[in-house]
Structure 1
Amino acid sequence: MGGQNGKADPAARRGGAVDHLRRSEGRATGVRVIDAHTKQTTEYYARIIFVNAACLNTNLILLNSTSRRFPTGLGNDSGVLGQYVMFHNYRGNIVADYDGFPDGYYYGRRPTTAFMPNFRNVGKQETSGPASRFLRGYMVAFSAARAGWQRGSGQAGFGADFKDDLSDPGAWHVFMMMQGETIPKKENHVRLSTDQKDAWGIPQLVTSIGYDDNDLKSMQDFMTEGSEMLDKSGCKNIRPYDDHRNPGLDIHEMGGVRMGHDPKTSMLNAHNQLHSVKNVFVTDGACMTSTGTQNPSITFMALTARAVRYAVNELKKKNL
């Protein structure tokens, strides 16, 4: 959260809330934080406040920032704060074996992997074929590795021959996973608990988020298409599976403080300002209205840079 005129140990801060409005101007005055160790409350004042606590915590902070003017959360005139939360669907996976390249190996930490961009419903919704059965699409990630000595941990064996066998890399295995777009829904939401608080007295966040039929159809399409790709690549023993993970065991949460032109259906304007509190900006994943299929962090960074430039210019014009 931007702008502070005091000092405190950042590691000792916990939770917090955007402070009460300066009613005559319709502006937030600053940020209130709680020391994680002493539980002492400190307030920091700023002319402009950027809330970038990561999607769910940003929702938590704004939901906890209540006043007479905003009894259900700062800037929540529309009533959509905490709603339309989205995430990426990683439930679909495929593993396979590959016979070949016995003399090949890889070295180093391998900090990245191969990605295939979305090829379903690109540009517009397909009206025929498999992709017509679901909305949006998915990106695909690939990796390949050779089995290591750990493969012998569950098998019987002893002696030099057994050791020498495990010293050589095992067969190649291929792994594929989907990164699917989930559709924003009002039902997928977060809210404050009415009876559960954390150690600092802050109401905890309740998540009510799940997959729907569209997510399952998209996953099934990935399994079908991915298995066919691996088969044509010469892979054997192809095994698609749904890991049935719950939302929240992934990454890339988005939404809840969505942008939009209409203050009746959104929280933020085109400059990432709260419609009702012009000196508060939200530029992390909470501002998003859709997920796409690609990694979103660079988009958050671009939105932040754009919003900062706008805020600085407005400050110079004395509009903020």
Structure 2
Amino acid sequence: MTVEKTYSIVVPVYGNAAGIPFLLERLEQLSSGMDSRVEVVFVVDGSPDDSYEILSRSLPGFSLHTQLIQHSRNFGSFAAIRTGMKHATGDFIAVMAADLQEPPELVLDFFRVLAANGADVAVGRREGRDDPALSRLSSTAFWRIYRRWVFPDMPEGGVDIFACNRAVAEEILALDESHSSLVGLLYWVGFRRIEIPYRRQPREHGKSGWSSAKKIRYLLDSVFSFTDLPLTLLIGVGAIGSLFTMLVGVAVLAVFLSGGITEPGYTPLMLVILFSTFTMLVALGIVGSYVWRAFENTKRRPSAIVMSHWVSDIHANV
């Protein structure tokens, strides 16, 4: 007997009151292209407007099975996504924004690939965006730094919409980390991944809460959660600086021995300053490397994740 596959769409909501009627309309149109049960999980993340009230009035007459969850305050979009994934009941889970800048129809492509077992994770690869020039410039710079130093495999425009199967969702939810990146965890767990291109649409309702301050915090959370780059840079700067100061120190000592420096105490003071400054950087980098390893262990991430396990049913003759 074939078991019917089910699908869940997680939608974090923050400051989207004006666009909710259009969002519900697009989701109903989206469901018409599905051949199985679809549920939508709305997570209102401490929204400052009346998004929750509008949804609570609209959802009783909504044609799809829905869940409406409200956070006690604003915890951030990634916390809202995690909450939605935790409560979703579908075999496949998609995550999309409520502002409709990522076309909801992309979710259909995600689900088709996942249901056909063509991949375990499907992400949208942004190939263009109809945003103001300054927004495009800042976004391009941000994601270029992110890909260069954190996750080189991530699409150039980042990941704003994705879907995964139940196995991947459970692995991500098992990594209950604070001050981390859910998208970073999505890439960290691995599995088979596919990218589907799309073009980002202009925002028609409301104002984006993805401020520069939040971008910087997100970048720092990702850097400190997934890479030891700062420690590597610290050790590198310290090592290069130590070599440079050693040469300068030898030059100062040579001038002193030749009688070129007559100021009392100048030579030993310079030697102490030169040698101690960058030596301390190297020492801090080494100590930090041990702290990093201890920090990694406190995350309780598994050393490896098994994606599949096959056991032969043929038994040896006794």
The TM-score range, normalised by the shorter chain, is: under 0.3
Higher helix share: 2
Whose strand proportion is higher, 1 or 2?
A: 1
Q: Which has the larger radius of gyration?
A: 2
Task: Give the structure-2-normalised TM-score.
Answer: 0.23
